[in-house]
């Protein structure tokens, strides 16, 4: 355990954050699969911290948007928040911060890449926020989220209109160009109840246009629609 804690000192230095409770920091990086192979490990997995971190993240982002964009309505702010706090962005931030080097995973999970690893990184970002909130308080969390996430990503999201709902736009373009309403069908689902993943296809009549994956059916549908827009060149 001491070796693991010592390793995390490097992350603290990199982020310029000194955790009072080192176990909290380590727990944020413990995937459930790791405990299946290391039953003697003294700490729990990170899912409770992820639950807390998700709420803290949403509060900070919502407050920032509310106070900094007083002229924009609720629908616009909701779209911006959804584009900012999603698994793609959060996994990218976790990757940029070097979180992958600290993940505590089973040997099987260590071999997984792509979407599976993206979900783990996004969840770890949230659990790290939860741990930081408990250890450092809301003020430190607020500074971290604003500087490491919001200020680095929000402007590009707005300027590039990445907040647009891909599913709605795909339907609009499909009806306009081909007089067809898209249909979404579940192709595959996997994982335990607490960590479900879905693969969904978007069809125009019987033709499969694109597939998307996500931790919810809605997220997978949005991903499929986004890819469908690219494939059909409907910008």
Q: Hey, which residues are catalytic here? A: 54, 126
Beta-strand ranges (E) seen in the chain are 183-190, 197-204, 207-214
- Residue whose pair of structure tokens reads 């690893």 in the numeric block: 117
R_g over Cα of the chain: 19
What's 206's DSSP letter? T
CA distance 167 to 157: 17
CA 193 to chain centre: 18
The number of residues in the chain equals: 235
Give me the residues paired with residue 197 across strands: 190
CA distance 59 to 123: 17
CA distance 62 to 83: 12
CA distance 112 to 99: 16
Residues in CB range of 207: below 8 A, 6 or more apart: none
Render 139-168 in DSSP notation, one character per residue: HHHHHHHIIIIIHHHHHHHHHTTTTS-HHH
């Amino acid at each position: 355990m001491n070796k693991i804690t010592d390793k995390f000192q490097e992350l603290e230095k990199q982020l310029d954050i000194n955790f009072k409770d080192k176990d909290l920091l380590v727990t944020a990086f413990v995937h459930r699969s790791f405990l299946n192979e290391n039953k003697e490990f003294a700490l729990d997995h990170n899912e409770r911290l992820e639950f807390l971190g998700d709420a803290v993240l949403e509060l900070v982002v919502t407050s920032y948007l509310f106070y900094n964009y007083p002229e924009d309505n609720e629908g616009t702010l909701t779209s911006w928040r959804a584009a900012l706090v999603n698994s793609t962005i959060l996994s990218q931030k976790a990757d940029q911060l070097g979180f992958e080097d600290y993940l505590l995973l089973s040997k099987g999970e260590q071999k997984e890449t792509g979407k599976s690893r993206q979900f783990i990184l996004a969840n770890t970002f949230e659990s790290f926020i939860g741990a930081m909130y408990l250890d450092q308080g809301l003020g430190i969390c607020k500074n971290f989220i604003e500087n490491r996430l919001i200020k680095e990503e929000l402007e590009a999201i707005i300027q590039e209109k990445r907040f647009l709902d891909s599913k709605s736009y795909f339907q609009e373009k499909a009806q306009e160009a081909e007089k067809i309403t898209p249909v979404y069908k579940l192709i595959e689902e996997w994982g335990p109840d607490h960590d479900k993943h879905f693969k969904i296809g978007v069809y125009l009549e019987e033709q499969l246009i694109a597939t998307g994956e996500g931790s919810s059916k809605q997220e997978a549908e949005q991903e499929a629609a986004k890819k469908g827009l690219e494939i059909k060149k409907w910008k």
